[in-house]
A and B are shown apart, each in its own frame.
Chain A
């Protein structure tokens, strides 16, 4: 038995696309009695090294996170530039965009998923450059887009 491509217990996040992150974050905080989190503005290409379909991109988003046990709720308000986030909002409106899994080796995971026809759509560094994210288009195979989250070893 070879090692699985994704570890089930690596499930850590449900990501939502929203139109107005202030309003959505307030609604989540009020409904569930959670502290209103800071709104994080992701940086442009120079810092985030964002690529969309392999091409460098200036797309950014505003993010807010709510920890709810093993799962964190991530709210994402995209800007107008093409990205998986903007794409989803234009096509589907607000809703669940992805589920995320921790991975140890993004490249190896991408290569293994490619054998199932699951390809990388967008990639970039965390806002603080402590790790990287990768969205793969697994909708046809898994019924949902998967995000790979890799934390870099601390130097």
Chain B
């Protein structure tokens, strides 16, 4: 089978650790890595993100701290409420690494290749926040790759602020 194309030069751009108390873990990371605690990012509900969980709309939110560890985004994520892959992961595994991410420019095309290989989309949504033109800034997609690849793969697509309004 041919490899999946379009995965941002095969460069991993993010590691995410799911935790039960983002504030507590952020403080520890700040101490041990000598970094500031950034402003917490709380994702918006379905109205804003159009998030879907196994194809159905979900109100699931998350409380996130994000740093740059060199060129890699490092994320601590606390699920807020049910019907999310985040909460499922925390319930099943406790605090641990949930996903690694690639940057993409064609989410649908890349996701289709994963789906063809037996890795369906588990959760998907727009980023929280809008461009000045009112358009969404980008979207995330989780693929169910854990059984074969040992972790969830996330696709991150950042939209062009001067491009099509989506």
B7, B10, B33, B93 interface centre (most CB from chain A within 10 Å): B33
> A residues within 8 A CB of B72?
11, 69-71
| Given A4-B32, A14-B97, A94-B150, CB of A33 within 8 Å of CB of B69 | no
- B4 and A69 form a contact (CB under 8 A): no
Specify which of A3, A4, A33, A113 is in contact with B4 (CB 8 Å cutoff).
Answer: A33
Query: Do the beta carbons of A95 and B151 come within 8 Å of each other?
Result: yes
Chain A residues 3 to 38 lying within 8 A of chain B, measured CB to CB, are 3-11, 14, 16-18, 24, 27-28, 30-34
**From A2, A5, A68, contact of B33 by CB (8 A):** A5
Cβ of A141 < 8 Å from any Cβ of B? yes
Q: State which of A17, A69, A70 has its C-beta within 8 Å of the C-beta of B9.
A: A69
User: A142, B70: Cβ atoms under 8 Å?
Assistant: no
How far in angstroms is the closest Cβ of chain B from A136? 11
Size of interface on B: residues with Cβ below 8 Å to A? 42
Determine if B37 is an interface residue (Cβ-Cβ < 8 Å). no
Q: Is the interface of B mostly helix, strand, loop or mixed?
A: mixed
Binds A, one of B15-23, B48-56, B121-129: B15-23
B149 contacts partner chain A, Cβ-Cβ < 8 Å: yes
With A27-B149, A68-B11, A142-B32 as given contacts, are A96 and B97 in contact (CB-CB < 8 Å)?
yes
Contact B149 A8 (CB under 8 A): no
B133 at the A interface (CB under 8 A):
no
List the B side residues contacting A11 at CB < 8 Å: 15, 69-70, 72, 74
A8 touches B13 (CB 8 A): no
Q: Chain B residues in contact with chain A, CB under 8 A?
A: 1-5, 7, 9-13, 15, 17-19, 25, 28-29, 31-35, 67-72, 74, 76, 93, 95-97, 100, 117, 146, 148-151
Known: A4-B34, A6-B33, A30-B3. 16 other contacts (CB 8 A): A3-B34, A8-B69, A11-B72, A11-B74, A14-B100, A16-B150, A16-B151, A30-B1, A31-B4, A31-B149, A71-B15, A92-B93, A94-B150, A143-B19, A144-B17, A144-B95
What is A's interface to B at a CB cutoff of 8 Å? 1-11, 14, 16-18, 24, 27-28, 30-34, 68-71, 73, 75, 92, 94-96, 99, 113, 116, 139, 141-144
Q: What are 17 A-B residue pairs whose CB atoms fall within 8 Å in the complex?
A: A2-B34, A4-B34, A8-B67, A11-B74, A16-B150, A24-B150, A30-B3, A33-B2, A34-B3, A69-B72, A70-B70, A71-B72, A71-B100, A96-B150, A142-B17, A142-B28, A144-B97
